[in-house]
Amino acid sequence: MKRKRARRIISLLLTFVMVLSLSVSWTMATGEGVLTEEIDLSQMYRKYDLKTGEVSLVPRYAPPQYRDGQRITSTEPFNPVAEKEILGDRSIIGTDGRTQVTSTTSSPYYRIAKLVMTYTDGTSAEGTGFMVSGNVLLTAGHCCMSTSNASLSSMTVYLGRNGTYTPITASVSYYYVCANFTYFNDDDKDDYAIVVLSTSPGNTTGWFGLGYQNDSFFLNNTFTITGYPGDKTYGTMWKASGSVNSCATYVLNHSIDTYAGESGAPLYSSSNVVYGIQVSGVNPSSQYNHCRRMTQEVVDWLIAQGLIS
């Protein structure tokens, strides 16, 4: 009797666990949709696996991360080669302050990628991304979906591209976007994507550190945005520097010149630490360009997943 009762209790517990797990998320591996029940999508990433077509939901938050007993607030950039001096090096605000980068395989430019995307609805687009580890890059969330919110069918990553010169080309294995984000979402808070590559070109190009800071840090320092604007010669890299004009919890408003095609470009300091991702330009309600501000929860999650260190 005791053994039967124990088996019955174990069976009931197992059934409860299975039901609970099904109520948390139910994944449909069709390559397009994820059916969910009783899930707060604002707390989740949607993961797209381009190799298998599987789509799943992943919790978006991780506990605080520590190293040697100290709270991690930034990660270090990686430079595989010595720094080289560069000679001369979405919206244009006033006089165009951008200059072309011709030494695209020098640090830190080698770690910035031109992205060419195709989507499952047959459309295509181009953008910018940047390496944050050997095989992980960050970009804008809207680069990973079409204007009709179709998902990626492929993304080609060109690191250090300069016109037709393409020293490193990589493909994507899988990527994460905020589960509740849509292409025309007015909230820049969720406009970022985490892209995992099939190879590790960052070991050759190097990568940026990531960091988050208080408002006063941004208002008292100069930053650079480098990317691949669509109004210049195809495949050429351009940069501009300037200041952050104001800060919100998830957005940095700045007057650094950018253009369409630079969505996903890094906003970084002279120490090659990225503090924001370019997401949008001047609009009727704002005189500034906008970056998705790097925040504690994103850095914590990337470290907890082993995607950066």
Catalytic (active-site) positions: 142, 263
Tokens 């906003």 belong to residue: 267
- Note whether 146 and 114 are within 8 A (CB): no
CA gap 173, 135 in Å, rounded: 10
Helical residues (DSSP H) of the chain, grouped into ranges: 2-24, 202-205, 215-219, 296-304
Q: Which of 98, 75, 73, 74 is nearest to 88 (CA)?
A: 98
AA letter at 160: G
Beta pairing, strands 222-227 & 237-247: antiparallel
CA contacts within 13 A on the Cβ side of 266: 26
Structure tokens at 251: 């957005």
- Note whether 308 and 202 are within 8 A (CB): no
- Note whether 174 and 285 are within 8 A (CB): no
Tokens 């520097």 belong to residue: 241
